[in-house]
Amino acid sequence: MISRRSLYELYWKMEHLIVPSLKYSQSIYEDLLNAHVRSDVRWLDLGCGHQILPTWRFEQEKRLTETCAMVVGIDPNWNSLTKHRSIRNLVTGTASALPFTADSFDLVTANMVVEHFDNPKQVFLEVYRVLRPGGLFIFHTPNVRGYVTKLARALPEKLKMILIRMLEGRRSEDVFKTYYRANEESDVKRLAESTGFAPTEIQLIASSAEFAIIPPLAALELLWIRVLLTRPFRHLRTNLIVTLTKERATNID
């Protein structure tokens, strides 16, 4: 029987051959964090669960959290927080009602969390409130127009859970309801404008193949990803990585 590791090694060779310029969206997100997490930064991670970065990047995650002045993680799921290993300051709570005073943080982040917000405007308002002037809100989330999200929304729930377990290794207790209400470039711009943020950068990313461990499907997927990297198909890429800045005071109705 072919091991999972062998399948990934085969996939990486295919990826290098078909789309040599492709970079995993989580790696791009990590690079962005490395650019902004400094020794004087007070950092809040929304929906931190039991990790900030993918499991195999734990040492890098640990170095990141040890770099800044303070890091706090908040998540509504206590069971997830009990498994967290890199953040010491952990809080049970929701992003729509952050239990922190105004101007408390220099950086607020969310990795694959924004798609779970049923009221993203309220979350954006709360993030704006707790950020200091000049602070950043950085998040990584699926693009609702990408093929992965469209497939996930079309599949029956049982089949989707089977695929998530097989392809990503996630258990059912780590899968949460999605709304995708801030998961398109136009939605992010609208929400940013209505909550006082200045959109600093909105990246549309084509990430690594979801079907990496199924070689025939991975090859077809990589061919499609190669198309997505061309400018005309930018809006159909799989992921968004967004940087918003708190630049001004505003009155929000």
**Residue 173 confidence (pLDDT):** 66
Give 67's DSSP letter.
Answer: H
Dump pLDDT digits (tens) for 64-107.
999 999 999 999 999 999 999 999 999 999 999 999 999 999 99
As a whole number, the mean pLDDT across the chain is 93
Token pair recorded at residue 47:
């929906």
Dump pLDDT digits (tens) for 16-37.
999 999 999 999 999 999 999 9
Dump pLDDT digits (tens) for 165-176.
777 776 766 677
Q: Which residues contact 219 (CB under 8 A, 6 or more apart)?
A: 14, 18
The answer to whether 108 touches 42, Cβ cutoff 8 Å, is no
Q: Is 27 exposed, middle or buried (0-12, 13-18, 19+ CB in 10 A)?
A: middle
For helices 4-18 and 215-228, give the axis angle rounded to 10 degrees.
30
Domains and CATH numbers, the chain: 23-211+234-246 (3.40.50.150)
Rounded Cα distance between 153 and 142, Å, is 12
**Residue 163 confidence (pLDDT):** 77
- Model-level pTM? 0.93
Rounded Cα distance between 97 and 100, Å, is 9
